[in-house]
């Protein structure tokens, strides 16, 4: 093959971009993408501020969507099988659900109130035993305990105005909670009755190009939301039954209320289980001693392992799985911004964001002719024979 003429090689060298141009192109690319991500971050901050300002409206809407996603299959069953009109189906399912919850509360209340005196006496005796143990070990002297109690009494005496204002604030919060519950129930009824019209309306309003994408994303979000809530309810119910049974066997007071808290805490992943578990262990410690507390702790750890390694992976589809780090950070951020309600709504919100991200990945993969992103699979380690698992020998170093 004849060598390349010097003139041709010189032309090739001149055609290549210089170092300054390559570096400048890299800086320009970084600047463009930095500006885009900055705009996205500013949009997220603005959205958070709007949600905070409109929280009194956003909260009942979010709770109504959660309730409607759970109750929607029962409403459709009444419409298809019993030929109920939409309004009657929605009202029947909603009133039936509320009635069942109220009935369950009235059924549990006598057991809780009947144990209240024993709980108070056992807790007082347990705290006295803990105080005696601390003093015996000389962690805290009696003079320090007396000084702390006196300081607490002085603090309470000087904080009368603050306590009174706190009571008024509590009354206002209770009133706001009642209003939120009423609005949530009304919105749930309306969503169950007329919610099916929303997605077709969005598709028509957005046009053929964007409407199809919006409709598909909304359908996936609705399906994921309902599946997530129902799955969490099943997992939380199993946790509550197992932990509640252990509490009853050990003889821990307030076993039924603690089981109910376990059920409710299951809707706040990681943090809820940790808080309720710690509360159950503490109650067992002050009422049943160290042995009972250790037994309850072991049961809670085993149940959490069963939930994390068996129940959740089995009941939830793979597309709904969120990394534990993402769940923990979302719960932390939600609780920081909006309290316990934000912690409760954080995971469903992140699940909806994950649905949107996965759909965008599918669209990009379709347009670029590539495969959508899949879960990473760890490569198998080669065996001692040097086979890498694909029928090929792996060359040893050196």
pLDDT tens, residue by residue, 87-120? 999 999 999 988 887 887 777 666 555 555 555 5
| Confidence bin at 38 (pLDDT 50/70/90) | very high
| Confidence bin at 173 (pLDDT 50/70/90) | low
Distance of alpha carbon 17 from alpha carbon 8, whole angstroms = 16
Beta carbons of 248 and 255 less than 8 angstroms apart: yes
Q: Encode pLDDT of 206-216 as tens digits.
A: 887 888 889 88
pLDDT of residue 27: 93
| Confidence bin at 393 (pLDDT 50/70/90) | very low
Q: Quick one: average pLDDT of 195-204?
A: 87
Q: Where are the domains of the chain?
A: 54-114+159-368
Lowest mean pLDDT among 18-32, 59-73, 328-342: 328-342
pLDDT, greater one: 226 or 246: 246
Whether 398 shows a pLDDT value over 50: the answer reads no
The closest of 353, 340, 321, 344 to 47, measured between CA atoms, is 353
Q: Quick one: average pLDDT of 295-304?
A: 86
pLDDT of residue 177: 79
**329 Cβ partners below 8 Å, 6+ apart?**
none
pLDDT of residue 117: 56
Take residue 372 and report the two structure tokens written for it.
């959508």
pLDDT of residue 384: 47
- Listed in sequence order, the DSSP H helices in the chain are 6-15, 19-53, 55-81, 86-114, 116-136, 142-157, 160-194, 198-250, 255-265, 271-306, 312-315, 324-368
pLDDT of residue 66: 85
pLDDT of residue 30: 93
pLDDT of residue 14: 61
Averaged confidence pLDDT in the chain:
75
Report the chain's C-alpha Rg in angstroms: 30
| Confidence bin at 225 (pLDDT 50/70/90) | confident
Q: What is the DSSP letter of 311?
A: I
Half-sphere exposure of 111 (CA within 13 A, CB side): 13
Q: Quick one: average pLDDT of 52-56?
A: 86
CA separation, residue 390 to residues 382, 394, 397 (Å): 10, 10, 19
The closest of 69, 73, 66 to 89, measured between CA atoms, is 73
Q: Quick one: average pLDDT of 237-250?
A: 86
Half-sphere exposure of 170 (CA within 13 A, CB side): 6
Whether 36 shows a pLDDT value over 70: the answer reads yes
Whether 368 shows a pLDDT value over 90: the answer reads no
pLDDT of residue 151: 67
Lowest mean pLDDT among 6-10, 354-358, 383-387: 383-387
pLDDT of residue 205: 87
pLDDT, greater one: 39 or 307: 39
Q: Quick one: average pLDDT of 301-312?
A: 74
Q: Give the DSSP H/E element, type plus range, for residue 394.
A: none
The closest of 331, 303, 327, 329 to 235, measured between CA atoms, is 303
């Amino acid at each position: 093959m004849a060598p390349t003429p010097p003139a041709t090689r010189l032309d090739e060298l001149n055609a290549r971009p210089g170092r300054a141009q390559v570096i400048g192109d890299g800086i320009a690319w970084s600047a463009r993408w930095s500006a885009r991500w900055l705009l996205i971050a500013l949009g997220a901050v603005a959205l958070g501020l709007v949600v905070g300002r409109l929280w009194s409206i956003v909260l009942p809407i979010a709770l109504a969507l959660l309730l409607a996603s759970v109750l929607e299959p029962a409403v459709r069953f009444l419409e298809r099988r019993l030929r109920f009109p939409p309004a009657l189906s929605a009202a029947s399912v909603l009133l039936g659900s509320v009635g069942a919850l109220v009935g369950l509360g009235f059924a549990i209340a006598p057991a809780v109130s009947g144990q209240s005196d024993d709980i108070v006496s056992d807790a007082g005796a347990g705290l006295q035993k803990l105080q005696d143990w601390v003093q015996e070990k000389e962690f805290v002297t009696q003079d320090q305990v007396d000084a702390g109690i006196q300081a607490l009494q002085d603090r309470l005496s000087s904080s009368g105005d603050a306590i009174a204002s706190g009571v008024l604030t509590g009354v206002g919060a209770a009133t706001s909670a009642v209003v939120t519950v009423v609005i949530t129930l009304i919105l749930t009824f309306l969503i169950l009755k007329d919610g099916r019209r929303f997605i077709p309306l969005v598709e028509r309003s957005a046009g053929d190009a964007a409407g199809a994408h919006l409709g598909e994303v909304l359908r996936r979000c609705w399906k994921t939301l309902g599946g997530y809530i129902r799955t969490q309810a099943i997992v939380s119910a199993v946790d509550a039954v197992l932990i509640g049974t252990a509490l009853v066997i050990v003889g821990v007071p307030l076993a039924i209320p603690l089981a109910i808290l376990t059920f409710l805490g299951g809707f706040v992943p990681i943090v809820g289980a940790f808080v309720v578990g710690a509360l159950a262990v503490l109650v067992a410690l002050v009422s049943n001693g160290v042995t009972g507390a250790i037994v309850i702790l072991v049961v809670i750890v085993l149940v959490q392992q069963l939930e994390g390694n068996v129940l959740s992976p089995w009941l939830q589809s793979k597309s709904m799985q969120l990394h534990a780090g993402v769940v923990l950070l979302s719960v932390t951020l939600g609780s920081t911004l909006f309290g316990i309600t934000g912690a409760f709504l954080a995971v469903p919100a992140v699940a909806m964001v994950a649905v949107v991200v996965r759909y965008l990945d599918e669209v990009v993969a379709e347009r670029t002719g590539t495969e959508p992103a899949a879960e990473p699979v760890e490569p198998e380690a080669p065996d001692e024979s040097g086979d890498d698992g694909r029928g090929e020998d792996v060359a040893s170093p050196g």
